[in-house]
Chain A
Amino acid sequence: MNGRLKSVGLALLAPAIAIVLSILVTTLVIAAVGSSPGEFWSTMFEVPKPRLRVDIVNQTAMIYIAAVAAAIGFRMGLFNIGLEGQYTIASFSAATFAGAAYLGGFANVAASLVVAMVVGAAWAGIAGVLRATRGVSEVISTIMLNAIAVTLVGYFLNNYGVKEGNSVHTKNLPSGTTLGGWSPFEDRDGDIWALAIVAVLVGVGFWALLNKTRFGFDLRASGQSESAALASGINPKRMIVISMMLSGAVAGLIWMPALFGGARNYGTSFQVGLGFLGIAVALLGRNRPIGMLFGALLFAFLSVKSNDLTFGTDVSPSIVQITQGVAVLAVVVTYEVVRRWRTRLEQRAVSRELTATTGATA
């Protein structure tokens, strides 16, 4: 019991240090440019208004889906930096499909989600296949695929999209297939999007997959030691392609809550950067379903609450990007330090016990 408590304490130590560190750096940066850190923190820590609370929940959902997508790769030892490209091209495809209204009502929504997953999986699959067959680092290929996805979507949008003033977007969803959501406060405060539930499903699914299935075991095994996995009959190449595609399929869902909730088309309302936030949150939450939930909530809170800064203070909202970045860097560094420290503690404990037993027998 004591040992368990200690290990939980050690696990929480790293994020705690990281948060303190990022608060410190943010404060210093704000003070360095001559603004007031006190005002900044008091604005940030005010209880958010109902409207912002709704936004925080919605953003948490999307960031969480992205984090799970990243974590699937991480647990396998793959670095899927291409979430950004995967969800861009998947969101565009799903929005185009949904806008074309081949199906009506709920069937349209379901089919569009499938389209998003398939496209995301296919786009990630390119990197997976290149890695498995040609040994191309997935980091480099997904960076390239990100750029290609963004330009490709731009091309299709400019040539086949609906032009409206200066902006271009895909066809609006037919009126029967927007899902709206649930408004916990007054109507003007907005809805929690119906598809935010996808985040819950993805989170539970991720937990069950890793801990309750053969595939999850294979995935974790390959991530920890490829040779051990190979020895126990796992085909590493197959695992690379499958887990990459799985990661891409989940990535395809990232923006779906917004599409069917508020956006209704792919255009200026498309939110970029969720992929990189997802990677950051996966790192912050140690690829654990619960850890990532807290990470996603923290990042969503920072991003949404920073909107208040424009009214009360002279600090610009982009400061929270520094806070987020520092938090990620600090958390990975402190995890590493804690890990080394823990190893040393264990080594010491083992040597103590060894000397004790040998001393007794002698």
Chain B
Amino acid sequence: MSAATAQRSTIVERLTKSWLYIGLIGIGVVSFVRIITDTDDLTGAGTIRAAIIATCPILAAALGGLWAERAGVVNIGLEGQMILGTWGAAFFTYHYGPWVGILGAALLGLVGGLLHAIATVTFGVDHIVSGVAINLIGAGAATYLAEAVFPEYEGGGPRQLNGLEAPAQVTIPGVSDLANTISDQHWFFVSDVASVIQALTTNISTLSLLIFALVIISALVLWRTSFGLRLRSCGENPQAAETLGVNVYLYKYVAVLISGALAGIGGGFLALVASSGFSTGQTGGRGYIGLAAMIFGNWRPGGLLAGALTFGYTDSLRLRDTQSVHSLLLLVAIGLLMFAAWRACRKQVKGALVVAAAGALVMAWFLLTDSVPREFTVMTPYVTTMFVLALGSQRLRMPAADGKSYRRGSAG
């Protein structure tokens, strides 16, 4: 008993310590790059604020992916469910205000999830095939419904609905001002932390807070409750779960429905917070980026949060000035070189050399140019994911029965 608790506490200690160190080093490097390249915008509160807004929809979609895939269902239909969510948010917000709007977004996403669950769980259709069909239906339905319904609304047209009420924003008075003063000093390290705090405490949307809270809730439910354990067992080994009396179909249904609802909320965020209204084609492939963030994060809540933040941060820099994107190159170069050094320490010579070469290339790119074309920043999440998959595919571990068709009674 005592040994178990002792062991457990060391694991917790080790994990929190290593995350703490990585986090501290990360902030240090960012701060260093900011001062070297003289781009205060790199960690300005404005940038962080934009990054949070860009992160949230990706994060919601990634969470949706996590729920479905942990129960063994691959959900490529996230994009379609997200599109449905944008329409749902617009329609319900127009009539009943933002919070019902978010519920509406979740409801429409859930309908997309239900379609996916019926096709994949009940009928055993290939998960990718069903997902592709749902993306077609989602895009078509949102376009059609917008054209059919929104032109008659105030501020609406066949392809958009503007002037929707956004969910409330929160400011924590004392902290916000203090953080603002410190971040304006542009000190090493301290000001960077202060801008993050400032962004988190000044005019932050309650929906952002909700989505961040959902990450923690998902992690707790999936990994700390017996419900979560059963759900994950359906993704690892459904036959074994069935022999233990778990209703596999039910758990898969619940997981895919939650997945759709989360993607829908992500769509709702796009329509209500990230912009001031609905427009057709608003998601721009963010459902796919969410999927990428989840894979990047190795099917873990903490990992997908890191992935979504990375993608959201690059996405937000793109909208600001090209100068800060250029200094980001230095950041990437330093990051890669540090990663190479870490690999070299662990005697993985070949891997270290590959990463070091990539780092040197990015460094050369930084030193030889003054700006990065806008399109290259757009590509960043996709290229990063390709690299992570290509270099780290051995270390990524997805649920064992992920994407496999399962039929009730097949355990014999």
Interface of A is mostly: helix
Which stretch, B206-214, B219-227, B362-370, B383-391, touches the partner chain A? Answer: B383-391
Pair B144/A321 contact, Cβ less than 8 Å:
yes
CA distance A324 to B137 in the complex (A): 8
Question: Does B379 count as interface, using CB distance less than 8 angstroms?
Answer: yes
CA distance A140 to B393 in the complex (A): 12
Which stretch, B3-11, B98-106, B122-130, B232-240, touches the partner chain A? Answer: B122-130
Complex interface: chain A residues within 8 A of B145 (CB): 33
Considering residues A29, A316, A318, A321, which has the most beta carbons from chain B within 10 angstroms of its beta carbon?
A: A318
Pair B386/A329 contact, Cβ less than 8 Å:
no
Complex interface: chain A residues within 8 A of B139 (CB): 321, 325
Which A-chain residue is minimally distant from B76 (CB atoms)? A139
Question: Does A152 count as interface, using CB distance less than 8 angstroms?
Answer: yes
Pair B140/A134 contact, Cβ less than 8 Å:
no
Pair B386/A141 contact, Cβ less than 8 Å:
yes
Pair A324/B140 contact, Cβ less than 8 Å:
yes
Which B-chain residue is minimally distant from A320 (CB atoms)? B140
Pair A280/B125 contact, Cβ less than 8 Å:
no
Complex interface: chain A residues within 8 A of B361 (CB): none
Question: Does A208 count as interface, using CB distance less than 8 angstroms?
Answer: no
CA distance A332 to B126 in the complex (A): 9
Question: Does A345 count as interface, using CB distance less than 8 angstroms?
Answer: no
Complex interface: chain B residues within 8 A of A139 (CB): 76, 128
Complex interface: chain A residues within 8 A of B144 (CB): 29, 316, 318-319, 321-322
CA distance A319 to B129 in the complex (A): 21
Pair B132/A326 contact, Cβ less than 8 Å:
no
Pair A148/B136 contact, Cβ less than 8 Å:
no
Pair A33/B128 contact, Cβ less than 8 Å:
no
Question: Does A61 count as interface, using CB distance less than 8 angstroms?
Answer: no
Pair B123/A333 contact, Cβ less than 8 Å:
yes
Pair A130/B389 contact, Cβ less than 8 Å:
yes
Question: Does A328 count as interface, using CB distance less than 8 angstroms?
Answer: yes
Residues of B147-172 at the interface with A, using a CB-CB cut-off of 8 Å, are: 147-149, 158
Complex interface: chain A residues within 8 A of B390 (CB): 130, 134, 136
Question: Does A155 count as interface, using CB distance less than 8 angstroms?
Answer: yes
Question: Does B341 count as interface, using CB distance less than 8 angstroms?
Answer: no
CA distance A144 to B390 in the complex (A): 12
Question: Does A113 count as interface, using CB distance less than 8 angstroms?
Answer: no
Pair B76/A134 contact, Cβ less than 8 Å:
no
CA distance A144 to B145 in the complex (A): 29
Least CB distance from A272 to B in Å reads 11
Pair A316/B288 contact, Cβ less than 8 Å:
no
Partner of A318, one of B143, B382, B383: B143
Pair B285/A322 contact, Cβ less than 8 Å:
no
CA distance A344 to B111 in the complex (A): 32
Complex interface: chain A residues within 8 A of B385 (CB): 140, 144
Residues of B90-146 at the interface with A, using a CB-CB cut-off of 8 Å, are: 115, 118-119, 123-126, 128-130, 132-141, 143-145
Pair B129/A332 contact, Cβ less than 8 Å:
yes
Least CB distance from B322 to A in Å reads 14
Least CB distance from B319 to A in Å reads 15
Pair A322/B137 contact, Cβ less than 8 Å:
yes
Pair A316/B136 contact, Cβ less than 8 Å:
no
Complex interface: chain B residues within 8 A of A155 (CB): 373, 375-376
The proximity string for A residues 319-342 relative to B, scoring 1 for CB distances below 8 Å and 0 otherwise, is 111101110110011001100000
Complex interface: chain A residues within 8 A of B158 (CB): 316
Pair A329/B115 contact, Cβ less than 8 Å:
yes
Given contacts A33-B145, A134-B393, A140-B389, contact A148 B133 (CB under 8 A): no
Complex interface: chain A residues within 8 A of B126 (CB): 332
Partner of A33, one of B134, B138, B148, B386: B148
Instruction: Tell me the total A-B contact number using a CB cutoff of 8 A.
Output: 130
Given contacts A130-B390, A134-B393, contact A151 B130 (CB under 8 A): no
Pair B123/A325 contact, Cβ less than 8 Å:
no
Complex interface: chain A residues within 8 A of B382 (CB): 144-145, 147-148
Partner of B133, one of A130, A280, A316: A280
Least CB distance from A35 to B in Å reads 7
Complex interface: chain B residues within 8 A of A141 (CB): 386, 389
Which A-chain residue is minimally distant from B118 (CB atoms)? A333
Complex interface: chain A residues within 8 A of B389 (CB): 130, 134, 136-137, 140-141
CA distance A319 to B141 in the complex (A): 7
Which A-chain residue is minimally distant from B116 (CB atoms)? A329
CA distance A29 to B129 in the complex (A): 23
Question: Does B295 count as interface, using CB distance less than 8 angstroms?
Answer: yes
The proximity string for A residues 126-162 relative to B, scoring 1 for CB distances below 8 Å and 0 otherwise, is 0000100011110111011101100110110011000
Complex interface: chain B residues within 8 A of A35 (CB): 148
CA distance A322 to B115 in the complex (A): 13
Question: Does B56 count as interface, using CB distance less than 8 angstroms?
Answer: no
CA distance A348 to B197 in the complex (A): 69
Question: Does A79 count as interface, using CB distance less than 8 angstroms?
Answer: yes
Least CB distance from A199 to B in Å reads 22
Question: Does A68 count as interface, using CB distance less than 8 angstroms?
Answer: no
Which A-chain residue is minimally distant from B383 (CB atoms)? A148
Considering residues A152, A155, A333, A336, which has the most beta carbons from chain B within 10 angstroms of its beta carbon?
A: A333
Given contacts A136-B393, A279-B132, A318-B147, contact A326 B288 (CB under 8 A): no
Pair A321/B143 contact, Cβ less than 8 Å:
yes
Least CB distance from A331 to B in Å reads 9
Complex interface: chain A residues within 8 A of B285 (CB): 147
Question: Does B265 count as interface, using CB distance less than 8 angstroms?
Answer: no
Pair B128/A140 contact, Cβ less than 8 Å:
no
Question: Does B292 count as interface, using CB distance less than 8 angstroms?
Answer: yes
Complex interface: chain B residues within 8 A of A333 (CB): 118-119, 123, 125
Question: Does A250 count as interface, using CB distance less than 8 angstroms?
Answer: no
Pair A152/B375 contact, Cβ less than 8 Å:
yes
CA distance A143 to B288 in the complex (A): 7
Q: Identify 25 residue pairs between A and B in the complex whose beta-carbon atoms are under 8 Å apart, listed by A's number.
A: A134-B390, A140-B295, A144-B288, A144-B292, A144-B383, A145-B386, A148-B379, A148-B386, A151-B379, A152-B379, A279-B132, A316-B144, A318-B144, A319-B144, A321-B143, A325-B133, A325-B136, A325-B141, A328-B133, A328-B136, A329-B115, A329-B134, A333-B125, A336-B123, A337-B123
Q: Which residues of B are at the interface with A, using a C-beta cutoff of 8 A?
A: 76, 115, 118-119, 123-126, 128-130, 132-141, 143-145, 147-149, 158, 285, 288, 291-292, 295, 373, 375-376, 378-379, 382-383, 385-386, 389-390, 393-394
Closest 4 CB pairs of A and B: A321-B140, A325-B137, A325-B136, A155-B375
**With A33-B148, A81-B76 already in contact, 10 other A-B pairs whose C-beta atoms are closer than 8 Å:** A130-B386, A134-B393, A140-B292, A141-B386, A143-B292, A152-B375, A316-B158, A319-B140, A332-B133, A336-B124
